[in-house]
Amino acid sequence: MTTEPLTHDGDRHVAVDDLRPDAAPAAGESLTRDAWRRLKQNRAAMVSLVMLIVITLICLFGPYVLPWGLAEVDWNAFNAPPSLEGGHFLGTDANGRDLLTRTLYGGRVSLSVALVASLVSLVIGVLYGAISGYLGGRVDNVMMRFVDIMYSLPFMFLVILLMVVFGRNILLIYAAIGAVEWLDMARIVRGQTLALKQREFVEAAHALGVRDSRIVTRHLIPNAIGPVIVYVTLTVPKVILLESFLSFLGLGVQEPLTSWGVLISEGTDMMQSAPWMLLVPSVFLAATLFCLNFLGDGLRDALDPKTR
């Protein structure tokens, strides 16, 4: 193996890349294609992926083709059961608003909260965990003790405190959930980094003068991305449940917005007289959570090198 000359900041390090454990043979199948091929062989994961795409598209574009708006009231249909007449295909709520329309709008909010909060936890957790694991020593101890302190703070107490100080809005929910969910991500990435920094490709990068920042971002994080992707698929349903729980308690999104948690909370009050108000959002929520968990299991199997 030949080594190309390096600049002072280590911008070129072909030899180091050759030593990385995820480097695929030139004539062989790339790891990405191999993972995708094995994921396609998992029927449950692929069906779940298709269903997630369908649910997302329905929530995004469905309200534009429905005859009733989010806050539009049908004065002739209060607590109306599902019917093809009047355009209320899944019934109405106690205020005469179309339940299908509100469920699709609620799906937008729940899915967006899950996506944004998961991205926040992904960025913070990956960087924090990689830096902590790579530096090690006292720095690692201090950073991990901060994580332990954050773990000791009750989630509901943190959310209520933020609500009191800043008021209730959708952006605050993003921040509150994302500020808590990155802790598990940081621990996972730290563990991966502690194992990877002893590998040959990291030692070669040190010998060639590659900067620490480039070792972390160019070598350690990419090689730890497999477990991270799997954990993200498990974080999304967890975040959706957290948002639903907050909305169920009245601490989540407020009118005129709605979410699946808000709709389920409203449906529990009318469970005996209007069971469709509870059933419709619950089915959407349960289907989304099942699909995300099956997809996470499929990604875990596809990205696990031990199963290759």
Question: For residues 103 and 93, what is the distance between their CA atoms, to the nearest angstrom?
Answer: 11
Give the Cα separation of 159 and 242 in Å (integer): 11
Query: What domain count does the chain have?
Result: 1
- Are 158 and 180 in contact, with CB atoms under 8 Å apart? yes
Residue ranges of the chain whose pLDDT lies below 50 = 1-28
**Would residue 222 count as lying in a domain?**
yes
Asked, for residue 201, whether it belongs to a domain, the answer is yes
Q: Could you tell me which of 65, 64, 98 has the C-alpha nearest to residue 79?
A: 98
Q: Is the pTM of this model over 0.85?
A: no
Tokens representing 48 are 């779940």
- 262 inside domain: yes
Judge whether 80 lies within some domain: no
Q: What is the pLDDT of residue 57?
A: 93
Within-domain flag for 185: yes
Residue 194 falls within a domain, yes or no?
yes
Give tens-digit pLDDT for 244-274.
777 777 777 777 778 888 888 888 878 888 8
**Residue 15 resides in a domain:** no
The domain spanning residue 219 has which CATH number?
1.10.3720.10
* DSSP assignment string, 158-225: HHHHHHHHH-S-HHHHHHHHHHHHHHHHHHHHHHHHHHHTTSHHHHHHHHTT--HHHHIIIIIHHHTH
Q: Which pLDDT score is estimated for 18? A: 43
Give a yes or no: residue 269 inside a domain.
Answer: yes
Residue 11 confidence (pLDDT):
44
Backbone angles phi, psi at 73, to 5 degrees: -110, 135
pLDDT at 304: 61
User: Which pLDDT score is estimated for 212?
Assistant: 76
Q: Which domain holds residue 238?
A: 33-59+98-307
